[in-house]
Structure 1
């Protein structure tokens, strides 16, 4: 063991250094081979070979490899993964592996993915397209670089068929190491829960990219939505207008109202009732468009805001966000903001990280969508088996309304247009029906989208097609681990049974070690297991699709970026004010 000392020698000296060489029958080669002994008792010299340092003990098991890969998808480093495993096993002495073993395997996984990341993802998605019924996957390359992707499985399509009347989509950026933009399409089911109806990745936020994405969405779902809800991104506005010409397009009210504080001074908002009057006007769903326009002009004149550019622009685009212009659009009351999309994005971000490979991102997406659908299908199952009694709502809305009832035809209509907007009868109609001794809701007013059987039994019986699939070998391995954990859980309070079980497993372990000594695991087996864990068929020999370089999205910036008006307004509001000599108050004017 060890290294040869570095001793300098004058090679120009004909007589040499004058040192005599030592004759020896061994050489110092820095050999790493060693054997370690562990003393059994301090009083004796009895020792045993330390098993955890043997080559067999330091071989990574399937569970270790899976744990490392799963930790990598959550961007947990190899050293921290080793610490977590030691914590779970009750100490480092029970792990049998060193942190360097975890690092080596993680590096091996990274080397396999490497610059093949985009190619692996496309191959994996195409494989799913071949194996799964009615699975849609589209991608676009520019100069052999992955530019955009869209995918939707059979469950997404069934959900869209039933609940695709109103959809929203938003972009989030914390998804992968290349900065590709994750765009998730969201709708609302019959329980008013957010559901996923498709997803995509974009390398930029241009009009062309959004147009391609919406075309892929339309190709998968065929029909246009009735209403599309987005933010004020100019590229999205033009893309929706071009691809969904027959759909109503609505802007997010929350994003618009958030900008209000940046368009007028803080002092103006705090010392006037402008915010209250403005909010009451723009959120009013019961007034006619003509009434809104007249009240808007009066409000602008009263507070001298008619020349402000932002207010002029928002009035010009009033048909894209004011509820008065959507009162006759069916089911638009389901969503007024894109908070649903942002909430779903937040849910998916828990399963992803900005440092992930694309292949890791897809694995995380499948895990998250599987959890989401588990909860949705459990709710559907519980709802179908539950007994419900309908209770008529009491009380009327504050807004005055007129109800018209035609008894021969059993047609009812309310001037509040609540049924047109939401698909549910209003309080006033229920009161009129009750007063006329009509005990059942008329069939034509029970929309399919709100029924308990809106989701077909076929969908409930389906497996989670978006989740990762494993081959038979790895299913058996997982089942074996589960069986062991199950028996340990039942034997933990019965010592005699536990001793008997440990003795049996010890015998099995000895047999496995003898088998392993004659069938050493090679690096080829490691690569084979990594391929299966990533859910791919093989490592491609040629790379025809390259991942994009890291992009800078609209939501990112540097210290030198321009400060927005909203940030200036917030900073001004936090700034300590001085006392005005005119009004003797601490304000922002002098």
Structure 2
């Protein structure tokens, strides 16, 4: 049987299994059955589904998820590149470099991509190649340029997370396992994921990040976002001009900023005044995946510098803000250009509409955290309350860990409450073995 896990991203940007199924073969009918089961559990169709170029899977996705965008894994496609061109072109020219520059660039526009593609095909005499013609025809299913405005919360362009999950499960089981052993191994894997989530949640709720600017929206972000997301968009103050830079990418290195200019442009749009603020930033070696802008190159003695122009549109009447880099649309958090505007206009808080629930600390309620019993529907509500109580107590202990006086006071209160509970709750009789097994399994003995 074939094990098929469904992988998504949690609020800490970690891969997480949200479901799994087992099918007897990899036919379109089997995949359709599996996707229908998934749809029955989650009700809504996913915004996007990413797979390799498997024909059966493609057919099943189109049938069961007609409203979802189906994206092909770029890694699987680009791995075929060496076999689709001659060895002379692949190894002795800059074809590979030029090809990767346009297909992996998330900032390039569809029009510019198509123009660049045709230039490369013409330069290397590949215009009549059947494989390249086909890949160009289906470009909207795998090239990042055609997914620029799709809110994917930073979802990858490849199935690497899925491959990583497969490797993760391989640590717990092997092909020779029986179905019972496999299910026990699967539960162990889920417990490992739950344990990791507990650790990251604990860090987010109890570790105070270091503030760099002291601005109000920086403090607000630290209270709302998980620690991972906050560090991803951590704020740094650049020089005496007080420019705010938000580092959306993982790289912590300082972004080289030479000059920042702001302009205001007022225009009438259906009797509504719109203020358009334009930010011009001069940067060297810009971070890939962030910029979406007009580019100009000037030659220098040491480097080729690119000038990027970002447009931030603020509509005061509708209380909306949008940047041409589309960082919020793609990743789900605001970009450095908008934060710069916030500081310039003395806006102290991030508007609620721009704080996505999926990146918040409180995404998973305390009662829905790691289960302490495997089966049984009768104790579900008790399980939620137990988890919430554990969460509250652990938070209290963490907050008072450095204050012995208050810890003593907390211990006294808990002891007092414990004594009160013991006086009012009669001790339950010892359960028989059959009752214990019934509670554990959640089913009657045949």
TM-score (norm 1): 0.48
Structure-1 residue corresponding to 2:52: 231
The verdict on how the C-alpha distance between 1:382 and 1:301 changes in structure 2, with shifts beyond 3 A counting, is same
* Contact 1:286–1:324 (Cα < 8 Å) also in 2: yes
* Contact 2:110–2:145 (Cα < 8 Å) also in 1: yes
Which has more radius of gyration? 1
**What does the per-residue CA deviation read over 1:124-163, in whole Å, with 9 as the maximum and x for residues that have no partner?**
xxxxxxxxxxxxxxxxxxxxxxxxxxxxxxxxxxxxxxxx
Distance 1:225 1:464 in 2: 30
Q: Which stretch shifts more, 353-362 or 380-389?
A: 380-389
Structure-2 residue corresponding to 1:587: none
Distance 1:299 1:315 in 2: 12
Structure-2 residue corresponding to 1:392: 235
Structure 1 stretches lacking a partner, 5+ long: 1-179, 468-527, 541-590
Matched, 1:439 2:348: yes
The verdict on how the C-alpha distance between 1:464 and 1:415 changes in structure 2, with shifts beyond 3 A counting, is farther
Structure-2 residue corresponding to 1:428: 337
**What does the per-residue CA deviation read over 1:165-184, in whole Å, with 9 as the maximum and x for residues that have no partner?**
xxxxxxxxxxxxxxx11100
**What does the per-residue CA deviation read over 1:97-140, in whole Å, with 9 as the maximum and x for residues that have no partner?**
xxxxxxxxxxxxxxxxxxxxxxxxxxxxxxxxxxxxxxxxxxxx
The verdict on how the C-alpha distance between 1:359 and 1:537 changes in structure 2, with shifts beyond 3 A counting, is farther
Secondary structure at the counterpart of residue 387 of structure 1: coil
Distance 1:202 1:221 in 2: 19
* Contact 1:402–1:414 (Cα < 8 Å) also in 2: yes
Distance 1:238 1:282 in 2: 25
Structure-2 residue corresponding to 1:419: 328
Higher relative contact order (CA 8 A, sep 6+): 1
Structure-2 residue corresponding to 1:268: 89
* Contact 1:370–1:464 (Cα < 8 Å) also in 2: no
The verdict on how the C-alpha distance between 1:445 and 1:536 changes in structure 2, with shifts beyond 3 A counting, is closer
Secondary structure at the counterpart of residue 434 of structure 1: helix
Secondary structure at the counterpart of residue 333 of structure 1: coil
**What does the per-residue CA deviation read over 1:41-69, in whole Å, with 9 as the maximum and x for residues that have no partner?**
xxxxxxxxxxxxxxxxxxxxxxxxxxxxx
* Contact 2:26–2:56 (Cα < 8 Å) also in 1: yes
* Contact 2:74–2:142 (Cα < 8 Å) also in 1: yes
The verdict on how the C-alpha distance between 1:313 and 1:238 changes in structure 2, with shifts beyond 3 A counting, is same
Structure-1 residue corresponding to 2:141: 320
* Contact 2:70–2:141 (Cα < 8 Å) also in 1: yes
The verdict on how the C-alpha distance between 1:189 and 1:437 changes in structure 2, with shifts beyond 3 A counting, is same
Structure-2 residue corresponding to 1:347: 168
TM-score (norm 2): 0.62
Kindly report the root-mean-square deviation, in angstroms, between the aligned alpha carbons of the 2 structures: 2.6
Structure-1 residue corresponding to 2:14: 193
Q: Which stretch shifts more, 434-443 or 206-215?
A: 434-443
The verdict on how the C-alpha distance between 1:323 and 1:456 changes in structure 2, with shifts beyond 3 A counting, is same
1:211 to 3, 9, 32: 32
Structure 2 stretches lacking a partner, 5+ long: 212-217, 219-233, 237-244, 246-254, 256-280, 292-307, 377-433
Q: Which stretch shifts more, 260-269 or 395-404?
A: 395-404
Higher strand share: 2
* Contact 2:52–2:76 (Cα < 8 Å) also in 1: yes
The verdict on how the C-alpha distance between 1:538 and 1:437 changes in structure 2, with shifts beyond 3 A counting, is closer
Distance 2:109 2:196 in 1: 41
Alpha-carbon shift at residue 282 of structure 1 (Å):
0.8
Matched, 1:297 2:140: no
Secondary structure at the counterpart of residue 228 of structure 1: strand
Distance 2:194 2:118 in 1: 48
Secondary structure at the counterpart of residue 53 of structure 2: coil
* Contact 2:47–2:68 (Cα < 8 Å) also in 1: yes
Structure-2 residue corresponding to 1:499: none
Matched, 1:459 2:280: no
* Contact 2:194–2:370 (Cα < 8 Å) also in 1: no
* Contact 1:191–1:450 (Cα < 8 Å) also in 2: yes
1:356 to 162, 168, 177: 177
Structure-1 residue corresponding to 2:388: none
Alpha-carbon shift at residue 297 of structure 1 (Å):
1.4
* Contact 1:211–1:242 (Cα < 8 Å) also in 2: yes
Total equivalences in the alignment: 298
The verdict on how the C-alpha distance between 1:237 and 1:466 changes in structure 2, with shifts beyond 3 A counting, is farther
